[in-house]
A and B are shown apart, each in its own frame.
Chain A
């Protein structure tokens, strides 16, 4: 048997890489080119009809523990088909993940599944590993929020983070609102009935499917005209001609008529600057303004956009156009000298880039062990190191007893772990 293993240097088994997002979870093995499965982060309870979301930050520990336990059990025994006890785990997380969630997840992994070690890797940093560069401005457009974090020479510039609740969830809400207001349904019995009369609310997976299949992001000129028509004060702005309607079958009998204007106007909420004048594009520029001056040129020429929401057709083109448009505004014109912006294309689809970075890191068996939290460390101290908690003993104290206390740079390390 060992002849066929063909594994890395020590004959150690490949690590398991899990990216637990709020909408979807990507999981697979280290060293591979793509996740084995992308599944919704939900579990089905027998008595409840709707699936329960696993990644929730506001529920009590007991419930969260049982949800996570069931979900990870399903990941291991339905999709990965390996023993949890044999393989190290790399978890890709957002830097804004609450400590309570992290602690519960670690407890599930160590106490229930008895994994040998766990490494929490920040998603923004891992996406750089897929490109082979050291500095970039990384924007993660996910489900719950869009989070930007600049990384310079491998260190995340934590003070320059920025985040907005503009992601898949916001689009779904807006889309559901528009559908209920404007669209009609043909049922088996009657035609042209208003949607609220047939169903009170549209289930989120149907809204998501409508978004994925019919919506798109218009380019800058068209988008600005659509926004002007929406916030029409003088009534003079005219909306550009809408795209054609789509007949969306709800089930065997009902057909939902999605009117054309919804298809391109719903996504505009990502780029509309509301009262605070913030949008997904300003996130990048605001973060750039806060960054140290010497780093700005390099960061602006290395933009990386990851996350599922960035896969909407036309999103990247619009983002670049918006950034170039906003840089001319007085707010940024003085502050930013750099005017060139370049964007990378990672070797994977945007929703798997962070996972791929974790898989590349997980394949480095020489250092994966020393950078992870081992089962012994966890059983001795009872907690995992967190970048926001200053009273943690550094991991390397477990390995080198008697080593001098680390210099200031140590904090940079703990953000990567």
Chain B
């Protein structure tokens, strides 16, 4: 339905770090700064993690531990679909009496899309429905952990030395010019000829400094690399047994070549994002914790605060002929709003795209408040606004139809007009400074937005 509204024809200007023009439904409104914000000029944050298949929320500490993977759900290593657990009954010997057999349930994983099963890679059927399957461990984990420990020790040494140098510096009275002569202080001098140059900034052990060092064996280089087996050149390949690059890269630790080594992995989690205004650090959008809920705790979207301009009908636009375009203005708030449309001045720096002259109604327009119960209340008296029929085409609840006159200035191409929309905004947030004179907590400010409409091509 959004394509029916063609919201991308009406663009609002957002003044952020970069000027951006976007339709109002895609923008946010920071009511503390009283400015429009787009997705580019807000900071995104991770709010909560959840699994896309079982829709279970995961606290962030657990997500970190599980490496952002769900504990229960698996992905098919062939086609990335979600695996389902299937049960079969297998005869198994009773523990007390080996002669008799009884039916026991055995579970295996299967993919509904590509028919892959856990039996294809040789994973034994498990007796519990969930929690039985483990992911294989990386064989190099121990070596890597040892390396990290070793380098951490060296890093600690460097840090201690650096801190020590900061304190020692005060005692170095010999000015720099003489330090070369007397051979003190600088790193260059301290190196004896023949000793290895230590320049991975101390990331090499200095002799005999510390007794209890963690030593590691540096890796051994080998002379010979294993060649390809003899039959490699003549063996025909079965492409279904060779993994594709994409399947390999899903398992970065192993990257198996044969499909028989392709073990399933736990499903990767998704996140819910919250948005924050960069200037005032207030939240603009904060979703609910529950993954199944589509509501928001905080939802400062622009359509709830700024009157929306929509194009209702466009007549045939011809070069240098004035025609009337019908727009609708919708009031999102519950109180009466006054809107004034203003033409862009000469030399306005924002007015770069317009290819037509526009004449907007000079008077201030009054928009009725949004009344949720209005459609049910048939006996309500229509409010009398005394509209000028030349300017206002119709009025319905919180919507009003307005004529503007457009004169295309170019013979060919798209007709784009722009104007400024000024409206009042009641700021309902608590004031920053306590207001002694006024006892009501809301203040009215006037906001001006630059709006651009694209009205289609000029007809010949």
CB <8 Å contact, A222 and B233: yes
A to B contact number (C-beta, < 8 Å): 200
Among B226, B243, B269, B271, max chain A CB count under 10 A is at: B271
What 0/1 readout, one digit per residue, does chain B (206-226) give for beta carbons within 8 Å of chain A? Answer: 000000000011111111111
CB <8 Å contact, B203 and A343: no
Answer yes or no: B159 CB below 8 A from chain A CBs: yes
What 0/1 readout, one digit per residue, does chain A (231-246) give for beta carbons within 8 Å of chain B? Answer: 0000000001101101
Answer yes or no: A67 CB below 8 A from chain B CBs: no
Answer yes or no: B412 CB below 8 A from chain A CBs: no
Among A5, A28, A409, max chain B CB count under 10 A is at: A409
What 0/1 readout, one digit per residue, does chain A (345-371) give for beta carbons within 8 Å of chain B? Answer: 111110110001000110110110010
Measured between C-beta atoms, what is the minimum distance from A64 to chain B in Å?
A: 15
What 0/1 readout, one digit per residue, does chain B (224-266) give for beta carbons within 8 Å of chain A? Answer: 1111100011111101001111001100110101000000000
CB <8 Å contact, B46 and A77: yes
User: With A33-B140, A38-B252 in contact, do A360 and B147 touch (Cβ < 8 Å)?
Assistant: yes
User: With A209-B245, A313-B232 in contact, do A356 and B144 touch (Cβ < 8 Å)?
Assistant: yes
CB <8 Å contact, A360 and B271: no
A residues 289-346 near B (Cβ < 8 Å) are 301-303, 311, 313-314, 316-317, 320, 340-346
Answer yes or no: A97 CB below 8 A from chain B CBs: no
Measured between C-beta atoms, what is the minimum distance from B103 to chain A in Å?
A: 41
Measured between C-beta atoms, what is the minimum distance from A251 to chain B in Å?
A: 14
Q: Which residues of B contact A403 (CB under 8 A)?
A: 169
Stretch at the interface among B62-70, B287-295, B402-410, B442-450: B62-70
Stretch at the interface among A128-136, A181-189, A270-278, A383-391: A128-136
Answer yes or no: A114 CB below 8 A from chain B CBs: yes
Stretch at the interface among A79-87, A138-146, A280-288: A79-87
How many residues does chain B have at the interface if contact means C-beta atoms less than 8 Å apart? 74
Stretch at the interface among A51-59, A169-177, A210-218: A210-218
Q: Which residues of B contact A24 (CB under 8 A)?
A: 249
Answer yes or no: B267 CB below 8 A from chain A CBs: no
Q: Which residues of B contact A314 (CB under 8 A)?
A: 227-228, 232
> Which residue of chain A has the shortest Cβ distance to B241 in the bound complex?
A213
Q: Could you say which of B233, B236, B244 contacts A213, with CB atoms under 8 Å apart?
A: B244
Answer yes or no: A268 CB below 8 A from chain B CBs: no
CB <8 Å contact, A404 and B176: yes
Q: CA A234 – CA B298 in complex, angstroms? A: 80
What 0/1 readout, one digit per residue, does chain B (150-181) give for beta carbons within 8 Å of chain A? Answer: 11100110110010001001000000100000
User: With A77-B273, A153-B199, A407-B188 in contact, do A360 and B46 touch (Cβ < 8 Å)?
Assistant: no
Q: CA A222 – CA B49 in complex, angstroms? A: 54
Answer yes or no: B92 CB below 8 A from chain A CBs: no
Q: Which residues of A contact B61 (CB under 8 A)?
A: 1, 4-5
User: With A154-B198, A343-B225, A400-B166 in contact, do A114 and B216 touch (Cβ < 8 Å)?
Assistant: no
CB <8 Å contact, A313 and B249: no
> Which residue of chain A has the shortest Cβ distance to B146 in the bound complex?
A132
Q: Which residues of A contact B242 (CB under 8 A)?
A: 213-214
> Which residue of chain A has the shortest Cβ distance to B144 in the bound complex?
A33
Measured between C-beta atoms, what is the minimum distance from A252 to chain B in Å?
A: 14
> Which residue of chain A has the shortest Cβ distance to B44 in the bound complex?
A77
Answer yes or no: A199 CB below 8 A from chain B CBs: no
> Which residue of chain A has the shortest Cβ distance to B160 in the bound complex?
A366
Q: Which residues of A contact B63 (CB under 8 A)?
A: 81
CB <8 Å contact, B252 and A352: yes
Q: Which residues of A contact B239 (CB under 8 A)?
A: 213-214, 246-249
Answer yes or no: B138 CB below 8 A from chain A CBs: yes
> Which residue of chain A has the shortest Cβ distance to B200 in the bound complex?
A154
Among B155, B156, B252, B273, max chain A CB count under 10 A is at: B252
Measured between C-beta atoms, what is the minimum distance from A293 to chain B in Å?
A: 16
Measured between C-beta atoms, what is the minimum distance from A127 to chain B in Å?
A: 11
> Which residue of chain B has the shortest Cβ distance to A408 in the bound complex?
B188
CB <8 Å contact, A39 and B224: no
CB <8 Å contact, A219 and B227: yes
Measured between C-beta atoms, what is the minimum distance from A111 to chain B in Å?
A: 8
CB <8 Å contact, B44 and A243: no
Q: Could you say which of A1, A153, A213, A311 contacts B204, with CB atoms under 8 Å apart?
A: A153
Q: Which residues of B contact A311 (CB under 8 A)?
A: 255
Measured between C-beta atoms, what is the minimum distance from B96 to chain A in Å?
A: 43
List, sorted by A's number, 5 A–B pairs whose CB atoms are closer than 8 Å.
A33-B138, A216-B228, A244-B234, A313-B228, A314-B227
Contact surface of B with A, Cβ cutoff 8 Å: 17, 43-46, 49, 61, 63, 65, 67-68, 138, 140-141, 143-144, 147-148, 150-152, 155-156, 158-159, 162, 166, 169, 176, 186-188, 196-201, 203-204, 216-228, 232-237, 239, 242-245, 248-249, 252-253, 255, 257, 268-269, 271, 273
